Amino acid sequence: MKFGTLARAALIAPLALGVIACSPPCETASTEAVDFLGGEVDGTKTTYESSNWEGPYLHFPGGKRYRIHHGLGTTPVAVLTYLAFDEHPLPGGNVSESAGNQSVIERVDDEVIVVRNDTCAEFWLRVVALTRGAGGSDAGTD
């Protein structure tokens, strides 16, 4: 009798661990965007930064989505996203450009940038947006 009980327990334990190990990932697609109205635009309205290199960066846990109001008045030609593990990473810590689904850009227009953390990891986010400026000249022209 004890052998049968032990045998069943030996079979059930790995199955139970498999269920725990295969739990669904965190929810990343259905979060509502949080409006961010901060940051700074340079005097020529060609560069927007959500913060400087030292921070404070935006708290960016798994599934978080920001609607960043950039104030450039035109659609940026480039959006750069940087991630850190601290709100104030520099000096002393480090920052990296995001990769893959760490910061998914969902919308870019003349008013906002919508970015979402499509992972379950917790980061701190810095966003930089660039425009061509008032001249809007093409490379290679006089």
Q: How many residues does the chain have?
A: 142
Q: What is the dihedral of CA 91, 97, 101, 107, to 10 degrees?
A: 100
34-130: which CATH architecture?
Sandwich (2.60)
List the pLDDT tens digit at each of the 142 positions of the chain.
555 655 555 545 544 444 444 555 777 777 799 999 999 999 999 999 999 999 999 999 999 999 999 999 999 999 999 999 999 999 999 999 999 999 999 999 999 999 999 999 999 999 999 999 765 545 444 4
pTM: 0.77
Nearest-CA neighbor of 84 among 115, 116, 118, 127?
Answer: 127
